[in-house]
Structure 1
Amino acid sequence: MSLLEKAIQSAQQSEIAFSKFIKPNDTGSTGAHQAGFHLHKSSWPLFFDTAGEKGSNKDHFATIKWQDDFETTSRFIYYGKGTRDEYRLTRFGKGFPYLTDDNVGDLLVIAKKSNDYFEAFVLSSDEDIEDFFTALNISSTETNGIIPKQLAQTAENRLIECFMQYINALAVDFPPTLEIATNARNCYINSYGITPAQIKSNPDKQILKWLETEYDLFKTLENDRYSALIKKPFSSVEELVVSANTILNRRKSRAGKSLEHHLEEVFRISELIFQTQITTENNKKPDFLFPNIEAYNNPDFDENNLILLASKTTCKDRWRQILNEADRIKTKHLFTLQQGISKNQLEEMKQYHVQLVVPKAYISSFPPEYRADIMILEQFVKRVNETQD
């Protein structure tokens, strides 16, 4: 069994599980007072019976088995004295290998097996991280917290009602990804009364909300479509495997195009001129080209007004794939949901003229000295607008 499979199984079979992207603040590269994994306040049920109270510290020691390999006796601690108000996981012993700068951007998974015994995994590759999200049916926006066991029951009633109206009206079991993305977005916009002006003024917030809503809609659709299947026993292991692979492959197919669909809507509402999946040199197909292929193929068109944008949910390894997508455009823009990338990789991206674009909420996950060089989505839209005035 691979490390990824072990991490998935551990999270699925645990009492409670947690995930987060490792950030500079965890490794100590920000110059913080100590290294140790910072845990979101909502994650306290992972290791305490009650939440920490301001004015006092409390801790809990437990054995953690890492990568199904070695164990540490580590300390879950709440710091509440003085100005502090935070949870951390500390004490790993000398030579602990997962608190280095190179681990920034990796995914940490912690699974509770009992009050005093946990299993933890660190996933590094883009593929492993995305496959973990797919298997647990969560999105990158749902990290840094408890992994939900089922569809969150706290969603607005009107949003769930919109989901069910859409699902009940479907003529097929699973519609194309574009249709799911569009209807999820419409349900969110209509349920919360979001206006085009709000989307224009804060596209960073809205695209994350759209992604979260789409994941919730897809979960609801899966629960509806597979309810009969999971209630009856499988006749053989082969039948179980076939069904499981069908579910996982459908999740991967949907997730792979989801981000691109929502970005396209942001650009449409922002009244940008663009084309998607057009062909440049060597039969390459950039995700977005601004303004269009005619301008790109016109040698008299100002190259400073040509912009390429690739979209990848994670990019620790895959950012290099965009380097030769459009020879005329020196700086390649890359929108990603990756939360944190090591300094070495950020330097390499800079060397190859890759301009990162991330949601505003994710800027803090990058090393402080690099944040000024990273664009948020709102800034990218303004930059394109300037080239099209």
Structure 2
Amino acid sequence: MTSPLELAITAVSNSRYAFFKFISANDAGTTGGHQAGFYMPKSTVPLMFEDGPGIKGTNKDRLIQIKWQNEFTTDSRFIYYGKGSRNEYRLTRFGKGFPFLKEGNVGDLFILAQPEEDEYLAYVLQTDEEIEDFLNAFNLSPTDSNQLIEKSALTIDQCFQSYIEQLTVEFPKTIALAKQARTCFNQFKQVKPTDVLKHPDAILLDWVKSEYELFRALENNRYQELIKHPLGSVDNLVAIANTVLNRRKSRAGKSLEHHLEEVFYLHKLEFATQAKTEGKKKPDFLFPNETAYQDPLFQSKQLTLLAAKTTCKDRWRQILNEAHRIPKKHLFTLQQGISKNQLIEMQKANVQLVVPKAYKIAFPKEFRPQILSLGEFIAEVKAKQNN
């Protein structure tokens, strides 16, 4: 039986338009508001309405059928609410017993594809492995959510193109790619170190997105000749596909760490990466350093651990035994939304979530005060190190 992940990848590949987002607490109706269904950003108007966006002051809707997980169909509706103070798009009407808008679905990945004008296919992916495999299939980052999926080659920025032409290796190491992406972004957006000090959350997201764009450009450059010619056999096709996907996974897993490291460096925090704690445990970031951690006279309350995981619905438990001297573990993620039950589990396990400031709204309202932004986390660590 074909998995929802495989079906979703095929559907997006063969669609006119496709879109993905992390299911939010607002979508699931757990925030106490009166909204119904999936919030749809304005950027997805081409997928919803052939005749263009809604007009403020009026409501507008379109009735559609959606096939979910290749298993069942709903008679649903795209609607633009433009009357009164409202100005938003939503996907509504799923019928009784609909399984994907419950509290437990917060943080799942919702994918909507439109192969034909009146055909819609939807998928919900629930595990970290499925979510990351989907993103890697299209070389997407969580920062690419809430907009139409670009499947074609992007316009290559002059800075990206110049870098690619000067490379002496096929694919540089991830740390070099991350650094170049920051260089290109900072150059063309005129980002100064002081901007990173003022807006670490926003700049980090820009850097992550920029690196994904650079990597896409590099892949298109490296494989342009290969894809023009027959591959000879299915085995050759599978081997090449596996190479591409494994490289994407490897790069994505380290990308976030490299950009966080630069943010911490510019904020003049004292930290160590992959420092040894107990046994073979090496947390992503240890503040201030390994020497302090191993010194029994150094106060535990002055130590901080930060793990970095692109998504963390399931994998957050992996950090629980990474540093016995630090009871509270901090976890930075690009995950947009996690269910209440998972958040309660994290709290009981003394795990403190850290997310980009703009992503806080994706979490249940009552949990947002306990979730740190990157800027708040930096301030907390800086206060410890200045004492």
Report the TM range for the smaller structure's normalisation.
over 0.9
SS at match of 1:283: coil
State the one-letter code of the partner of 1:206. I
* Residue 252 (structure 1) aligned with residue 236 (structure 2): no
TM-score using structure 2 length: 0.98
Structure 1 residue 66 and structure 2 residue 63: aligned? no
* 1:35–1:99 Cα contact (<8 Å) kept: no
State the distance in 2 between where 1:236 and 1:345 align: 45
Q: What does residue 58 of structure 2 align with?
A: 56
Match of 2:172 in 1: 175
User: Post-superposition shift, 1:283?
Assistant: 1.4
Name the residue aligned to 1:21: 22
The correspondence of residues 166-245 of structure 1 with structure 2, limited to 5 A, is 166-245=163-242
Q: One-letter code of the match for 1:171?
A: T
Q: Are 1:311 and 1:335, in contact at CA under 8 Å, matched by a contact in 2?
A: yes
Task: Note if 1:320 corresponds to 2:320.
Answer: no
What is the CA distance between 1:245 and its match in structure 2?
1.2
Deviation string 1:326-349 (CA, Å, 9 cap, x unpaired) is: 000010000000000011111110
SS of residue matched to 1:168: helix
The count of corresponding residues between Structure 1 and Structure 2 is: 384
How many angstroms does 1:134 deviate by?
0.5
On the 8 A contact 1:177/1:257 being kept in 2, the answer is yes
1:277 aligns with 2:274: yes
The alpha carbon displacement at 1:152 in A equals: 4.1
Q: Secondary structure at the match of 1:45?
A: helix
Cα distance between partner residues in 1 of 2:292 and 2:244: 42
The 1-side partners of 2:374 and 2:195 are apart by 14
For structure 2, the residue ranges without an aligned partner over 5 or more in a row are: none
**Please, which runs of 5 or more residues in structure 1 have no aligned partner?**
none
Measured after TM superposition, the shift of residue 37 of structure 1 is 0.5
Q: Once the two structures are aligned, what percentage of the paired residues are identical?
A: 57
Partners in 1 of 2:283 and 2:241 — Cα distance? 32
Q: Is the 8 A contact 1:52 1:80 kept in 2?
A: yes
In structure 2, distance between residues paired with 1:76 and 1:219: 32
Runs of 4+ with deviation above 3 angstroms = none
Instruction: Give, as a single letter, the amino acid of the residue that structure 1 aligns with 2:3.
Output: S
Distance 1:246 1:39 in 2: 34
Letter of the 2:268 partner, please give it.
E
- Indicate conservation of the 8 Å contact 2:12/2:18, yes or no: yes
CA deviation profile, 1:208-258 (whole Å, cap 9, x unmatched): 000010000000001111110111122111111111111111111110100
Aligned residue number for residue 120 of structure 1: 122
| Deviations 1:94-122 (CA, angstroms, capped at 9, x unpaired) | 10000000000000000002222210000
Verify the 8 A CA contact 1:61 1:116 in the aligned structure 2: no
Picking from 349, 352, 365, the partner of 2:349 is: 352
Tell whether the 8 Å contact from 1:360 to 1:377 is kept in structure 2 after alignment: yes
Q: For residue 92 of structure 2, what is the aligned residue in structure 1?
A: 90
Structure 1 length-normalised TM: 0.97
The CA RMSD measured in Å over matched residues stands at 1.0
